[in-house]
Amino acid sequence: MDSSIWSLLDIIFIGSGVYVLYAWFLMKTKGEIKTSILMSKDVDLRKCKDLEGYKAYVAPKMIIFGVAALIYGGAGLINAYVFALPNVVYAVIMVLFLVVLIWFGVAAQKGVKKFW
């Protein structure tokens, strides 16, 4: 497979990391929750039992996920265009990102169940 498709995916991961960190910033500064990241469309924010508690619950998880996405996407671009990372290092970064991705998805669902 062409390496350009992998580079495109790495750029998407970096973009998603930036978007999650931007959503975290909006949540901390303006109190605005980007529902597209954290919950399904059928969840109504007005029915939240404890919105401030939910924000406190999900904020550190958003930072961890956003940084992990930036690191994984950046490592992929470095691997493709700057120098080849050792296979073990790149595999560890990939596995860690996948673990964080699954953890974040589960934590976001638990947050919705807990606070709605």
Q: How far apart are the first and last CA of the chain?
A: 44
- The mean of the pLDDT values for the chain is 92
- Of the candidates 98, 99, 115, the one whose C-alpha atom is nearest the C-alpha of residue 59 is 115
- pLDDT tens, residue by residue, 13-27: 999 999 999 999 999
Mean pLDDT, rounded, for 75-102: 96
Label residue 87 exposed, middle or buried (CB < 10 Å: 0-12, 13-18, 19+): exposed
Check whether 93 has a pLDDT greater than 90. Answer: yes
Find out whether 37 and 23 touch, Cβ atoms under 8 Å: yes
Mean pLDDT, rounded, for 31-49: 81
